[in-house]
Amino acid sequence: MTGFERWRAACRAHGVAELPAAAPIPLPATVLGQALDPALRDIYAEQNGGWWSSNQVTLRIYPLDGPDALAWRNESIRRAADDFVPPYPFDDVLLFAQFGRQASYLAILPARADAAGHQPVLYLDTHEDVWAVPVAASVDAALALLADWLPGAENFPQEVPDLLARDSAFAARVRAGEFAAWLGQNAEILAWLAKCSGAQS
């Protein structure tokens, strides 16, 4: 199963309703000049975004058009970049999903795509000061991770470093420092990330 299929199956198994999605529209070559992860392109080829909701969990994958569309959401947060000190490099990320109505997102890093085009995923929080942590090596891996997380529905991703550490390829990229440009110097976050990478027990 793909990560998307696993996520949808986990939602059905745990009572998270999937709201009807709009029919797909022609896929753009890029969004704001950035390529999309292959798994994200596959989702958009099947349906125009997605929305899953329960009392405990809500996740929305932005549609390609209409209100709160993918490009509009990213243009909006890039315009707001100067509100954060220091300014966050929003031009280097592409937010594709949001948790509930919170300022908590999943974002891809096109500049860190592998040879097959798979892009690492960040969890990004903009409630006050921006902080971000890598959570998966691709959109497919991120959705599979969420499927594994859903039964416990613990605070994501802070309370599940063990789930992230299961992906040895992802953990190796973290240890290699590939995501340093998107991380701050918060000691607590860096210690947590060390647990995800297997660098700390």
Token pair belonging to 29: 């070559």
Through-space distance between the first and last CA atoms of the chain, rounded to whole angstroms: 31
> Which amino acid would we find at residue 8?
R
124 vs 131: CA distance, rounded Å: 6
Residues 6+ apart with CB under 8 A from 33: none
Q: What is the pTM of this model?
A: 0.92
**Positive or negative torsion for Cα 140, 21, 34, 36:** positive
Q: Is 3-197 a CATH 3.40.1580.10 domain? A: yes
Give the relative orientation of helices 139-149 and 38-46 as an angle to the nearest 10 degrees: 70
Chain position carrying tokens 């959570």: 135
Q: Note the Cα 158 to chain centre separation in Å.
A: 14
Q: Where are the domains of the chain?
A: 3-197
Asked whether residue 201 carries a pLDDT value surpassing 50, the answer given is no
Mean pLDDT of 103-114: 94
The alpha-helical segments, DSSP class H, found in the chain are 3-13, 38-46, 70-79, 139-149, 161-165, 168-175, 187-197
Question: How confident is the model over 68-104, as pLDDT tens digits?
Answer: 899 999 999 998 877 776 678 889 999 999 998 888 9
Residue 36 CB partners (closer than 8 Å, separation 6+): 27, 30, 44, 94, 96, 108
The per-residue pLDDT for range 126-164, each reduced to its tens digit, is: 887 788 889 999 999 999 999 999 998 888 998 898 888
| 93 contacts 83 by C-beta, under 8 angstroms | no
Residues 176, 197: Cα–Cα separation, whole Å: 10
Residues 16-59: tens digit of each pLDDT: 999 999 899 999 999 999 999 999 999 999 999 999 999 989 99
> Could you give phi then psi for residue 54, rounded to 5 degrees?
-150, -175
